[in-house]
Amino acid sequence: DAGVIQSPRHEVTEMGQEVTLRCKPISGHNSLFWYRQTMMRGLELLIYFNNNVPIDDSGMPEDRFSAKMPNASFSTLKIQPSEPRDSAVYFCASSFHGGNTEAFFGQGTRLTVV
């Protein structure tokens, strides 16, 4: 398996533009996590899906952020409109819920909003 795949790896956009980050989890995994990492706040969980259903979105900063998981092999995190304070590295992770299992992380998307 190629692991968790995120795209793009880097994104630079202007303030006010819409940004879509993509994630392909490991095949067979049924839990998916979106995290954001900044120097100031470290790694923060944004949202967590189980069997394609959002379970906990309490970490989503505000209505400008939305996440979807239309099927077991794809998820998106959208920011509209983007702001400079959204600049961060966004990580996607997946795991198999059903045992004491670990989560595997993608390589992240580095977002810069100018």
Residues in touch with another protein (CB under 8 A): 4, 33, 35, 42-43, 45, 48, 50, 55-56, 89, 91, 93, 97, 99-108
Closer residue to another protein in complex, CB, 18/56 = 56
Neighbouring residues of 104: CB distance < 8 A, sequence distance ≥ 6: 3, 4, 26, 29, 93, 94, 95
Closest CA to 2 of 84, 100, 73, 75: 73
Closer residue to another protein in complex, CB, 39/70 = 39
Closer residue to another protein in complex, CB, 15/43 = 43
CB of 16 to another protein, least distance (A): 27
Question: Can you give the C-alpha Rg of the chain in angstroms?
Answer: 13
Q: CA–CA separation, 42 vs 105, rounded Å?
A: 15
CB of 88 to another protein, least distance (A): 13
CB of 12 to another protein, least distance (A): 16
DSSP percent split of the chain into helix, strand, coil, nearest 5: 5, 55, 45
CB of 7 to another protein, least distance (A): 14
